[in-house]
Amino acid sequence: MCGRYAAKKDPALLAAEFDAVDSTGGNAPNADYNVAPTKSVVAVVARHPRDEEGQPDPERTERSLRVMRWGLVPSWAKEQKMGARMINARADSAAKKPAFRSSVTRKRCILPADGWYEWKREGTGKQAMYMTGPGEASLALAGLWSTWRDPNGDPDAPPLVSCAVLTTDAVGQLTEVHDRMPLLLAESNFADWLDPDRTDVNDLLAGHDPALISALELRPVSSQVNSVRNNGPDLITRVEPTGAELDADPALFGQTTG
């Protein structure tokens, strides 16, 4: 499951890190330590660039940063609000689901994150946990994206571009926190994952790089992250569990389909 994450880097840093062109057009969200469903997020995609007539160049691929809404709205959806239930997609079944299968084949993305949150059950409550890497490199969450036009709206209005995080069974030390986790991509897999011409990614969906998992820090943090109204670097600061940070209200723990 992935219902909240932190993304604090600006587009310039992300463009350099992912060898991408910044195509956010100044619309990228500010540093966000409590990214929640339906918020705008930055994603990395790779597409064939188009000429002045809109024709794609099959000989070239360009990697770029785009702004998307978290919560995938399939192209065939009648209403945008469907996306609120589509923040996650299970890696083992997404290719079979009508909402995700075309995106698995042709519209894959990377969602850069500094870390993600999960809630570990402790007795009758839950302890907020922050999973992050050992250095400054972003975690690359495997994602899917889609475009949607309101069937009852202005036909000339720009489409909504939205995304979902792929999730898998938790592995290694993460099984102590939750039974699900985001699918993390190693840098060596970025090009294959983003390749718009690669339609079979079953091997990339199959699992994680063990080195990525073992290097993660599982950090207890404040229950302030439970509320989407709270934001700021204090949310990712280590807070040693005392019992006072436990929260028993499951309504605060986000929502997910995977």
Cβ atoms of 18 and 32 closer than 8 Å: no
The one catalytic residue in 2, 109, 163, 245 is: 2
Alpha-carbon distance of 102 to 108, in angstroms, equals: 10
Mark whether 118 is an active-site residue: yes
What is the side-by-side order of every strand in the sheet holding 115-122?
A: 32-35, 5-7, 115-122, 125-132, 217-220
Residue whose pair of structure tokens reads 């985001």 in the numeric block:
182
* Inter-CA distances, 192 with 188, 204, 206, 234, 251, Å: 8, 8, 14, 36, 37
The one catalytic residue in 52, 59, 118, 217 is: 118
In sequence order, which residues have a C-beta less than 8 Å from that of residue 231 and are 6 or more positions away? 32, 33, 34
For 102, phi and psi rounded to 5 degrees?
A: -70, -35
Neighbours of 134 (CB within 10 A): 9
Count how many residues are written for the chain.
258
Cβ atoms of 10 and 26 closer than 8 Å: no
Residue whose pair of structure tokens reads 């339906």 in the numeric block:
38
Mark whether 52 is an active-site residue: no
Cβ atoms of 218 and 132 closer than 8 Å: no
Active site residues: 2, 118
